[in-house]
Structure 1
């Protein structure tokens, strides 16, 4: 997703591209492509603190770009991406998986401490894949839109 895909006035995100990673002669190539299906191209209304989070991301990213200067790693087609690493490379699935694992580790440690303090067994915090977030979001988004329609009568 590029920053140009976000409409802060209408408070929507336009999903119209996907990041494709492939190898050519042993070299990794990344490019933005049209999503696999027509239904993948869509518009998603801002929910909750989405606007605030996106604006904070933009501010953080602009600061990093300024600090890194020519070391910021964005190339022609991949310039202006919303989700990047701290060096400006596209944020691929593996980066997200690594961050989720770190967050889960911190949560499990915190739960372990609380369990000892409360004299109980620690609650299980299961692993999950980043794609699960997409399905959960889609389900909750659909439910919210459907409930809004029902309440209008």
Structure 2
């Protein structure tokens, strides 16, 4: 997904997910960006913004007023929200490499600090943009019981995808829920 500024409804705090920008490797060995519809009909959706997302879009807009807006035109579409340092759209591989550099730098520093403090290092495991989406969905499932709402916001075509993630909540959350239930229901 790569929203355009036109897809952001600040007044109602909504994001219209109606396209995605894909990076395709072509037969000639080159790669190109293309705009396409989401993979499934369910992928086209309007989702509400959390306050932090709303603020991040506001901040990004203000920053781009200073440094310049995304100048990319892809398949006749323009006005993409996120801009790389050259004023174009981000390549997903570039974002994942940046994430990797951040956690690898942290881990290297943490190993040194842990050694100095004679403790086990707290290492950040490998993760990517897709892991962040999955983590968001897992946290969402931990805090929302309406699976159809989760499915609609996540854009899952099939409810089984949502249910698989919903069923995969953390052990800590399972324990928390049982402890909470125990306080509310007297079994004996």
> 115-124 or 31-40: which moved more?
115-124
C-alpha displacement of 1:112: 2.9
In structure 2, the residue matched to 1:16 is 18
In structure 1, the residue matched to 2:83 is 84
CA-to-partner distance for each residue in 1:114-146, whole Å, 9 max, x for gaps?
Answer: 424543111222111221111222333354443
Mapped partners of 2:64, 2:27: distance in 1 = 30
Matched residue of 2:72: which SS? coil
Kindly report which structure 2 residues correspond to 1:105-124, keeping only aligned pairs within 5 A, or say none.
Answer: 105-124=104-123
Mapped partners of 2:130, 2:79: distance in 1 = 23
Residue 56 in structure 1 maps to residue 54 in structure 2: no
Which of residues 37, 41, 54 is equivalent to 2:40? 37
> 20-29 or 84-93: which moved more?
20-29
Q: Return the TM-score normalized by structure 1.
A: 0.78
Q: Return the TM-score normalized by structure 2.
A: 0.65
Number of residue equivalences: 143
Mapped partners of 2:113, 2:47: distance in 1 = 38
Aligned pair in 2 of structure 1 residues 11, 110: CA closer, same or farther (>3 Å)?
farther
In structure 1, the residue matched to 2:8 is 6
The answer to whether the Cα contact below 8 Å between 1:31 and 1:78 also exists between their aligned partners in 2 is no
The answer to whether the Cα contact below 8 Å between 2:71 and 2:79 also exists between their aligned partners in 1 is no
Q: Which runs of 5+ in 2 are unaligned?
A: 150-188
CA-to-partner distance for each residue in 1:92-120, whole Å, 9 max, x for gaps?
Answer: 21121121012202321442354245431
CA RMSD, 1 decimal: 2.5
